[in-house]
């Protein structure tokens, strides 16, 4: 088996599980060989949710969860390999994103923090791990996010064709590929699934609104929607990035406090429209008629896809499956790609996107031996 095999590990803002992908690279172009999703144990999710809330930091909890997430990531790798009868010796490296517990790039001393101890992953899998991809970009004055636009450019750019790649995970980010010599544009648009997941979990104790079915039963309240859209983040110029530090359950409860007369389904519908409007508003600023390709969990929310199409009638809306990669695996493959770039001494960031002072090799190597 070729030594151009890498594994990408991704656990996003939604924290619903770990995606593991086995990828082969030829001429830097990826080919997905196998994939596996490892569910997030409920006890671990509770601990992570607690750790993500500003004001509740606790060093012992962080240290414990760092190891626990590392073990979960290693389990995802070992199950991926076992399910496909592939020996660990055939893998060049694992690219691990880690689990973000704090992303604060705009402080005087900006920082981002991902846990999921790469030493633990390396020890339990016997494979070299490349991790901590975001902090070099932060050190160079960048946002450390989003990092996927560099991968989107490599994989999805088409000369003469304007494309927007929209990744809708817990947070949504977009990559504008102009189709010419222009620089790529990319940034976080705001909440993706994080608020709609938080609300249905709060009301119905469900992890997510399958296909957007519950949101579809509600009626969006324009006053609440406009109130949510008036948040200063949406008016910020790129480069910009965000996360659970801003858009979280506590913030949501504050925003809906004066709208107690609304039904719970109406709030869900309004939150879904917040995601759709914030994405659509930015897409319209970038291009009048670009093709949109959706990836991430949002691609499977039928109501979200329908509403986005209604807001962008001049844009053709598809998923990344139509250009070669199933939507649920794009980010995992991106971190396998970043590991490959690190292994070959190649840069992984786009300064025009993140605001870093220069291109850089991202991540650190954690050897298995």
pLDDT of residue 3: 57
In the chain, pLDDT over 70 holds for what percent of residues? 98
Residues 15-51: tens digit of each pLDDT: 889 999 999 998 778 999 999 999 999 999 999 988 8
Same fold, 5-145+330-366 and 148-323: yes
CB 269 within 8 A of CB 301: no
The mean per-residue pLDDT over the stretch 159-165 comes to 95
Convert the pLDDT of each residue in 223-262 to its tens digit: 999 999 999 999 999 999 999 889 998 999 999 999 999 9
The model's pTM is 0.94
The CATH class that applies to domain 5-145+330-366 reads alpha beta
No. of helices (H) and no. of strands (E), the chain:
13, 13
Q: State the Cα torsion 252-258-260-261 to the nearest 10°.
A: -130
CA atoms within 13 A on the CB side of 338: 34
pLDDT for position 2: 47
The predicted-structure confidence for 88-105, as pLDDT tens digits, reads as follows: 999 999 999 999 999 999
Among 2-6, 49-53, 152-156, name the one with the lowest average pLDDT. 2-6
CA distances from 41 to 104, 178, 203, 293, 330 (A): 27, 41, 21, 31, 23
Is pLDDT at 14 greater than 80 in this prediction? no
Query: Which spans in the chain are helix H?
Result: 42-52, 59-83, 118-125, 135-139, 148-156, 194-204, 213-217, 222-229, 249-256, 264-286, 302-311, 330-343, 351-354
Would you say the C-alpha torsion 328, 331, 337, 343 has a positive or negative sign? Answer: negative
With pLDDT > 90 as the criterion, what percentage of the chain qualifies?
A: 90
- Among all chains, which residue has been given the structure tokens 């909890």? 61
The domain defined by 148-323 folds into Nucleotidyltransferase; domain 5 (3.30.420)
| Helix (H) or strand (E) segment spanning residue 114 | strand 111-115
Using an 8 Å Cβ cutoff, are 25 and 4 in contact?
yes
**Predicted local distance difference test score (pLDDT) of residue 204:** 97
The yes-or-no verdict on residue 87 having pLDDT over 60 is yes
Q: Higher-confidence residue: 181 or 100?
A: 100
The predicted structure's pLDDT at residue 56: 67
Q: In the chain, what are the domain boundaries?
A: 5-145+330-366, 148-323
Q: Which residues contact 285 (CB under 8 A, 6 or more apart)?
A: none
Give tens-digit pLDDT for 311-363: 999 999 999 999 999 999 999 999 999 999 999 999 999 999 999 999 999 99
Report residue 63's pLDDT band, with 50, 70 and 90 as the boundaries. Answer: very high
The mean per-residue pLDDT over the stretch 170-175 comes to: 97
What gap in Å lies between CA 279 and CA 188, rounded to an integer?
A: 9
pLDDT exceeds cutoff 80 at 145: yes
Dist CA 311 CA 284 (whole Å): 10
pLDDT tens-digit map of 208-219: 999 999 999 999
Three-state secondary structure string covering 142-182: CCCCCCHHHHHHHHHCECCECEEEEEECCEEEEEEECCCCC
Six token digits for residue 85:
């009868």
Average pLDDT over residues 123-132: 98
Angstrom distance (rounded) from CA 307 to CA 313: 10
Mean pLDDT of the chain: 95
User: Does pLDDT of 1 surpass 70?
Assistant: no
Confidence band of 309 (pLDDT split at 50, 70, 90): very high
Could you give the CA distance from residue 45 to residue 170 in angstroms, rounded to a whole number? 14
């Amino acid at each position: 088996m070729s030594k151009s095999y890498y594994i990408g590990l991704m656990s996003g803002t939604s924290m619903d599980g770990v995606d593991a992908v086995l990828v082969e690279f030829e001429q830097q172009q990826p080919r997905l060989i196998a994939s596996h999703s490892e569910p997030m144990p409920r006890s671990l999710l509770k601990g992570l949710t607690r750790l993500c809330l500003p004001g509740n930091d606790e060093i012992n909890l962080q240290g414990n969860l760092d190891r626990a997430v590392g073990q979960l990531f290693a389990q995802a790798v070992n199950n991926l390999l076992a399910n496909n009868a592939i020996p660990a010796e055939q893998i060049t490296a694992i690219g691990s994103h880690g689990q973000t517990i704090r992303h604060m790039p705009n402080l005087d001393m900006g920082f981002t923090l991902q846990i999921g101890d790469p030493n633990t992953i390396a020890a339990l899998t016997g494979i070299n791990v490349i991790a901590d991809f975001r902090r070099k970009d932060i050190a160079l004055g960048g946002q450390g996010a989003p990092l996927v636009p560099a991968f989107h450019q490599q994989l999805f750019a088409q000369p003469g064709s304007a494309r927007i790649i929209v990744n809708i995970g817990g947070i949504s980010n977009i990559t504008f590929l102009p189709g010419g010599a222009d620089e790529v544009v990319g940034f976080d648009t705001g909440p993706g699934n994080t608020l709609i997941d938080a609300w249905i979990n709060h009301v119905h104790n469900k992890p997510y609104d399958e296909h957007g079915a519950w949101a579809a039963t509600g009626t969006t309240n324009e006053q609440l929607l406009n109130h949510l859209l008036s948040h200063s983040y949406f008016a910020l110029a790129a480069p910009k990035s965000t996360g659970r530090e801003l858009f979280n359950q506590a913030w949501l409860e504050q925003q809906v406090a004066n709208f107690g007369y609304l039904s719970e389904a109406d709030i869900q519908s309004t939150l879904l429209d917040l995601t759709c409007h914030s994405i659509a508003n930015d897409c319209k600023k970038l291009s009048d008629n670009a093709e949109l390709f959706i990836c991430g969990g949002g691609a499977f929310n039928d109501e979200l896809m329908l509403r986005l199409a209604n807001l962008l009638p001049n844009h053709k809306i598809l998923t990344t499956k139509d250009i070669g990669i199933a939507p649920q695996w794009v980010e995992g493959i991106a971190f396998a790609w970043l590991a490959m770039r690190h292994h070959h001494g190649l840069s992984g960031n786009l300064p025009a996107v993140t605001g870093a002072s220069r291109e850089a090799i991202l991540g650190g190597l954690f050897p298995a031996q």
